[in-house]
Structures are given as structure tokens and as C-alpha cells.
Amino acid sequence: MKILNLTQHAPSQEQLAAGVVDPADKQEVCSLLTFDSIPSSAEMRDRAERLAAIAKEVGAAAAMIGGAPFFMSALEAALLEVGVEPVYAFSLRVTEEVPQPDGSVRKTNVFRHVGFVRPYAR
């Protein structure tokens, strides 16, 4: 299943393996997801509809979305309107301990993609 990446971030290796692909014009997607001032409802609708059109044009079955929380419901609705399923990435934080040459241990947190969450629907 083709899942279009409608986030500002590069997909992880796990997401790529799950079918996530970047849009041809990632810069346009990032621009549509970036708000430098408080948007009107009309602006959010217009941006959401453009992003949904991009997903539909490439034949995506789903779109991985994320960004400004105030915009996600508009984007969810626009995607559903054109028959593209909105999904959110779900990751787990995994702590890795790496022994150092001096005997100390360096801990790092790595986020591992484990699946997708569909938006809540009544």
C-alpha cells in the first residue's frame, strides 16, 4: 500500500519498509504545512485541500500526516473527502546503552516506528 508522507520529516527506514513514500515536491508539502501566522479557516481548508489533491494525484491509498495540531483535523477531513486514509505514525522510544572505551556507558534514545494509528471516528 502506498502511503504518501505528508509531514515535514524524512521517513524512517521502518516507515519506508511499510510503504511510505515522499512526494515529488517535498518543498511544496513543507510549505503547505508551515504556518508563520494564525491561519483563517479558509486558509486551512485551502491548504488541506491542496495536500489532499497531491495525495490523490499520486494514487496514494493513505497519507502519513503530522504537524500543527490545529491543522490536522482539517487535513484528515480533506483526505477522507478524496478517498485517502489519514494515518499517524506510532513510534516507541527505545533506550540503547553503548559501552565506551573508557568503561562508561552512553545511553541514547532511539524512536522506532512500529505502526500507524487511524484517527478517532465516532
∠ CA 95-96-98, nearest 5°, is: 150
Q: Is the confidence at residue 111, as pLDDT, over 90? A: no
Query: What is the assigned CATH class of domain 3-90?
Result: alpha beta
pLDDT 10s digits, 54-91: 999 999 999 999 999 999 999 999 999 999 999 999 99
Q: What pLDDT is stored for residue 110 in this prediction? A: 84
Q: What pLDDT is stored for residue 121 in this prediction? A: 78
Q: Is the confidence at residue 122, as pLDDT, over 80? A: no
Q: Is the confidence at residue 30, as pLDDT, over 80? A: yes
When pLDDT is averaged across residues 7-26 and rounded to a whole number, the result is 95
